[in-house]
Amino acid sequence: QVQLVESGGGLVQAGGSLRLSCAASGIIFRRYIGGWYRQAPGKQRELVATITSGGTTNYGDSVKGRFTISRDNAKNTVYLQMNSLKPEDTAVYYCNAGTVGSTTWGQGTQVTVSS
């Protein structure tokens, strides 16, 4: 059974940092594109960042220069380093693993940035 488990969320002050982790099981993770998405109350889910198996990254405009996505295929894990956090980064952050014909979501982890 495919499973993604996020960790690392929490409460942080504006300007602070957090590192999210997403551990995958039940899949050959290196074959998947790893990604982070977020959803704030009353808003649609939006792209934060994605990373291919080869390490090519893509970021949403609102996080460019502040967030960094990375992966460790040996550990079946994708990370999101979040720096210079802003109150508008407050959301539930979801991990995603996708390939042709298949996509899996984690349960989400709450990130709250206080002003």
Segment 45-59, tens digit of pLDDT: 999 999 999 999 999
Question: Beta strands 77-82 and 18-25: pairing type?
Answer: antiparallel
Residue with tokens 């994605």: 50
pLDDT (0 to 100) of residue 29? 86
> What mean pLDDT value characterizes the chain?
95
Percent of the chain with pLDDT over 90: 90
36: pLDDT confidence band, cut at 50, 70 and 90?
very high
- What is the pLDDT confidence band of residue 34, given thresholds at 50, 70 and 90? very high
Structure tokens at 57: 């990254």
Flag whether pLDDT at 101 surpasses 90: no
What pLDDT score does 115 carry? 94
pLDDT tens digit sequence for 61-92: 999 999 999 999 999 999 999 999 999 999 99
- Which pLDDT value is given to residue 100? 85
Q: Model confidence at 104, in pLDDT bands (50, 70, 90)?
A: very high
Q: What is the CA angle 49-14-20, rounded to 5?
A: 35
